[in-house]
């Protein structure tokens, strides 16, 4: 039996793929209504995170931010309450290294095994089972988790001791956010210059800057539509955490800092729950 905690935009697709691949699944979410679809498919719904641990040897989690990730572990009925030797916790949340280490230290102190496994990918890859897992921590747990990782993703990489996965994910998402901001500025400039946005997208796709993100997001951005696959509020959170890592390591990051300000402005305008490509809508409004 395998457990899954956190059934948001990413988690529901990830847990769904575990169920589709035939794994006996126990789930928990803060809002129980989000468990209903998986319950209809045969998953058992637990009352607390601790109850998931009691019923499963390995529990996965995908949670929105460091505060929620910490709460689910350390609350009175949380993961740690039932953790003991023979149990394991795999955290797929995007958090900072400090958060990951605190959780990992607590899990191992209770006798359990811990693996951080943040994912590269958004809603559709989570649904399609094509995520990339950036893992670090207990190598034996990494090996034991591979059947589950392969049910949810197309690639997994082990990056050493706890913290390596968190740092890699922040670097990846910082690059992605900076790219999206530049893409949004370019589309806004093209539109303001009376250029055909479909022509811009075609030119970009034909050259060295061709990439899946522009190909996927460009057409809906051209229409001013931003259906949430990766919420803007989460992208801005990741930019903030990446910049904090840069401050700690004394790495200048002026491009990322500027992109973060654009995402912050979009959040202030109420676009936090839209896709991160909605930074384009903020720029269009400002022009």
Tens digits of residue pLDDT in 87-123: 999 999 999 999 999 999 999 999 999 999 999 999 9
Q: H helices within 123-253, ranges in order?
A: 123-128, 139-152, 164-192, 197-206, 212-222, 232-249
Distance CA 105, CA 275 (A): 34
Active-site residue, selected from the candidate residues 19, 87, 102, 169: 169
- Specify the residue for token string 């460091």: 66
The DSSP result for 270-286, as a single string, is T-TTSBGGGHHHHHHHH
Q: Is the pLDDT of residue 19 over 80?
A: yes
Judge contact between 91 and 112, C-beta under 8 A. no
Judge contact between 144 and 88, C-beta under 8 A. yes
Q: How confident is the model at residue 284 (pLDDT cuts 50, 70, 90)?
A: confident
Please give the pLDDT value at position 71: 98
Distance CA 101, CA 115 (A): 10
Q: Is the pLDDT of residue 252 over 90?
A: yes
| DSSP letter (8 states) at residue 32 | G
| Nearby residues of 212 by Cβ (< 8 Å), 6 or more positions away | none
| Nearby residues of 143 by Cβ (< 8 Å), 6 or more positions away | none
Judge contact between 45 and 28, C-beta under 8 A. yes
Average pLDDT rounded to a whole number, residues 210-237: 97
| DSSP letter (8 states) at residue 43 | P
Average pLDDT rounded to a whole number, residues 216-240: 97
pTM for this predicted structure: 0.92
Average pLDDT rounded to a whole number, residues 2-30: 97
Distance CA 135, CA 206 (A): 34
Please give the pLDDT value at position 63: 97
Q: Is the pLDDT of residue 250 over 90?
A: yes
Residue-wise pLDDT tens digits, 126-185: 999 999 999 999 999 999 999 999 999 999 999 999 999 999 999 999 999 999 999 999
Average pLDDT rounded to a whole number, residues 245-264: 98
Please give the pLDDT value at position 287: 61
Please give the pLDDT value at position 193: 96
Residue 114 parent element (H or E):
strand 113-116
Say if strands 113-116 and 131-137 run parallel, antiparallel, or are unpaired. Answer: antiparallel
Q: State the chain's mean pLDDT as an integer.
A: 97
CA dihedral 171, 173, 174, 176 (to 10 degrees): 120
Tell me if residue 169 is catalytic: yes
Please give the pLDDT value at position 286: 67
- Specify the residue for token string 């050493």: 160
Average pLDDT rounded to a whole number, residues 45-54: 98
Q: Is the pLDDT of residue 285 over 80?
A: no
């Amino acid at each position: 039996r395998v457990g899954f905690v956190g059934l948001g935009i990413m988690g529901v697709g990830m847990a769904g793929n575990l169920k589709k691949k035939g794994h006996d699944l126990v789930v928990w979410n803060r809002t129980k209504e989000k468990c209903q679809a998986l319950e209809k498919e045969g998953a058992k719904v637990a009352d607390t995170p601790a109850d998931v641990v009691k019923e499963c040897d390995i529990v996965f989690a995908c949670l929105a931010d460091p505060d929620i990730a910490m709460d689910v572990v350390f609350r009175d009925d949380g993961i740690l309450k039932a953790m003991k030797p023979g149990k394991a916790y795999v955290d797929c949340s995007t958090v900072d290294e400090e958060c990951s280490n605190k959780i990992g230290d607590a899990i191992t102190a209770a006798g359990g095994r811990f693996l951080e496994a943040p994912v590269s990918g958004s809603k559709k890859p989570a649904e399609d089972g094509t995520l990339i897992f950036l893992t670090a921590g207990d190598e034996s747990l990494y090996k034991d988790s591979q059947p589950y990782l392969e049910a949810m993703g197309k690639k997994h990489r082990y990056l050493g001791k706890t913290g390596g996965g968190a740092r890699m994910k922040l670097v990846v998402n910082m690059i992605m956010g900076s790219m999206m901001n530049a893409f949004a500025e370019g589309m806004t400039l093209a539109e303001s210059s009376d250029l055909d946005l479909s022509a811009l997208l075609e030119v970009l796709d034909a050259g060295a800057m061709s990439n899946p993100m522009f190909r996927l997001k460009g057409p809906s951005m051209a229409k001013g539509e931003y259906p949430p696959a990766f919420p803007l509020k989460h992208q801005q959170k990741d930019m903030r955490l990446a910049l904090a890592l840069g401050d700690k390591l004394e790495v200048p990051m002026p491009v990322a800092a500027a992109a973060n300000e654009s995402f912050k402005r979009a959040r202030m305008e109420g676009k936090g729950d839209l896709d991160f490509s909605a930074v384009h809508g903020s720029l269009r409004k400002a022009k």
